[in-house]
A and B are shown apart, each in its own frame.
Chain A
Amino acid sequence: MSRIETADVVVIGAGIIGAACAEALSAAGMRVLVVDRGAPAGGTTAGGEGNVLLSDKAPGPELDLAVASRRRWPELIESLRAELGDEVARVEWEPKGGLVVASDRDAMGPLSILAEAQRAVGVEAVDLTPGEARAMEPYLTEDIAGAVHYPGDAQLQPVLAATAMLAAVRARGGEVRGWTEARGLVFDGSGRVAGVRIGDETIGCGAVVNACGPWAGHFSVAAGAPIEVLPRRGMVLVTAPLPHVVGRKVYAADYVAAVASSHVDLQVSAVVESTATGTVLIGSSRQRVGFDEALQVEVLRRLARSAVKLFPVLAGVPVMRTYGGFRPYTPDHLPVIGEDPRFAGLWHASGHEGAGIGLAPATGRLLADLMCGREPEVDPARFRVDRPAVMAEVRT
């Protein structure tokens, strides 16, 4: 394959968000170069669980984006299958549904209120008695006050999904270049983005998309247009493959509060699910520790304890490994999707925190719609770059 010397759009970051943006842009006929300073889909995308969730979002802009994305995922996978074949499109898509469990009456109140609000905007959410919940998940603890079933929740393997979208970009004449760091932007006389500096080379392009995930803040500084995207760390435990123990995505009701919190301190709430190979993934933790990768045993202990509380059978099951990643966090918990008001041609798509896998296809489509001047399906106003929580001061 020949190397691209100029592109319509250069996407910085080959994670799930960069891949989804590049897929949508190339579908619109643009020639796209995707660069990543590491391996494609090897950062945040490889450090999560593959959540495609509606259940953990209250009505508002993020839920609107999630609903559009949940509709889009199966369509997109189907179109990738038609375009690239079965092998590439096999991304372990499982529309398995989610079960949110309230451990006591105190947790049941807020969960019922959330479910009611979600139903009002069209999300399928079914209130269950403890007995009904246990009929769905027989290994679930008896010690619960109630649960809500969300048939719309789904799961996929994020690395496979990102690489499938990148394969489509290549098939449409684009290029994906790993181990290539973007160092900054080049502007034309009118102050518009005209290229990207990559090593000693400059790639001429009409637009640049900052899809660097938790490192989007770093790249925005290098680009001269800082935005406030910070890393929030999460850890996951992986059990040895088990017989069928956990059917759905099962999590404790306090997860929703942990997601929405802005605390610096460690937050742990149980999120338990099986993967296609039978391993059970146990999350979730959230911690603001910068880019510190040190393994913290206390976090793992708390994850294990919270999972055993939901599924007592897990107490006797060995943990095979643990992994973690940094989620891109914005101070107002909303993604940043749109053009930078400071430089025409600089776009951002980041800040999805732990929901980037689920929100990816609608994010890619929204960005492509805005860039192509098409009417977007989802209202972009709340994701705009030019909002006080996101626009960082230029630090000198």
Chain B
Amino acid sequence: MRVRFDGVEVEAEEGQTVAGVLLAKGIRSWRTTRGGDRPRGLFCGIGVCFDCLVSVNGVPDVRACQRVVAEGDEIRTQAGAELPS
């Protein structure tokens, strides 16, 4: 299946998480921190730490390690804190 990450089409496997798709592409960070603008990606990997947040289809604060991709997902790097669009 195909999803988009920051506007670029990316191949994904059925059942992969967003984090799985991004790591498979060699992408290790997909968020910047709210205070110091520092890069963040996967930390705990089990849904607890809320560090791997990403925006999916306009919904911010989605945990990349928990969200299983669906065909056509629009995944976007999240800059700081965002409200749902």
Contacts and interface: CB of A to CB of B under 8 A. Distances in A.
Contacts of A277: 34
The 7 nearest A-B residue pairs measured at CB: A316-B84, A240-B61, A241-B81, A243-B81, A318-B61, A242-B81, A278-B81
B8 interface: no
A27 interface: no
A145 interface: no
Interface of A: 240-243, 245, 277-278, 313, 316-318, 320
A116 B59 CA distance: 44
Contact of A317 (B50, B61, B80): B61
Contacts of A243: 80-83
B19 interface: no
Interface string B3-21: 0000000000000000000
B64 interface: no
B50 A245 contact: no
Contacts of A240: 50, 53, 60-61, 81
29 contacts: A240-B50, A240-B53, A240-B60, A240-B61, A240-B81, A241-B34, A241-B81, A242-B81, A242-B83, A243-B80, A243-B81, A243-B82, A243-B83, A245-B83, A277-B34, A278-B34, A278-B81, A313-B83, A313-B84, A316-B59, A316-B83, A316-B84, A317-B61, A317-B83, A317-B84, A318-B61, A318-B62, A320-B50, A320-B61
Nearest to B53: A240
State the main secondary structure of chain A at its contact with B: loop
Interface in B15-64: 34, 50, 53, 59-62
Does more than half of chain B's interface fall in helix, strand or loop, or is it mixed? Answer: loop
A301 to B, nearest CB: 20
Contacts of B60: 240
Contacts of B62: 318
Nearest to B80: A243
Given A243-B83, A277-B34, A313-B83, 15 more contacts: A240-B50, A240-B60, A240-B61, A241-B34, A243-B82, A245-B83, A278-B81, A316-B59, A316-B83, A316-B84, A317-B84, A318-B61, A318-B62, A320-B50, A320-B61
A33 B34 CA distance: 40
A233 to B, nearest CB: 24
A62 B34 CA distance: 39
Contacts of A320: 50, 61
Nearest to B33: A241
Contacts of B84: 313, 316-317
A243 B82 CA distance: 6
A243 B26 CA distance: 30
Nearest to B85: A316
Interface string B60-85: 11100000000000000000111110
Contacts of B81: 240-243, 278
Contacts of A316: 59, 83-84
Contacts of B59: 316
